A = this chain, B = another copy of it.
């Protein structure tokens, strides 16, 4: 990783704080800006985007692009992604994030590397779809 040295500033702490508070769901840059304002710690939108980009690069948060209308969403992941290889399933309806560990999925990475020459990065990959609850609610 070894990113360019960066200062720790009040703004960055506040941004991270909001992201942590909302780690169970993902929020847009706009919502984040609103939250910061409500907390009495407003941060310029440009700074927000710049830091969000950086955090996504570092793997601390994850960037989602589900709908081009609402724009990109961000979600705090934190240090969890080091512990063990697991995949993320994200429900496009309820927006819940599921962590899944399973041999079949672990082999997936091996297979893709062997047969398609592509090395999957689990920390950046999310499988989108419908969770059980939301599928049942639809019917």
User: Footprint of B on A, CB under 8 Å?
Assistant: 65-68, 71-72, 89, 91-92, 98, 100, 102, 104-105, 108, 111-112, 115-121, 124-132, 135
Question: Across the two chains, which residue of chain B brings its CB closest to A73?
Answer: B68
A128 and B125 contact, Cβ closer than 8 Å, known pairs A67-B65, A98-B116, A118-B89: yes
| Cβ A126 vs Cβ B129 within 8 A | no
Give me 12 A-to-B residue pairs in the complex whose CB atoms sit less than 8 angstroms apart, sorted by A's number. A68-B71, A98-B116, A100-B118, A104-B108, A105-B108, A105-B112, A118-B127, A118-B132, A119-B129, A119-B130, A121-B128, A125-B126
A68 to B105, CA, bound (A): 26
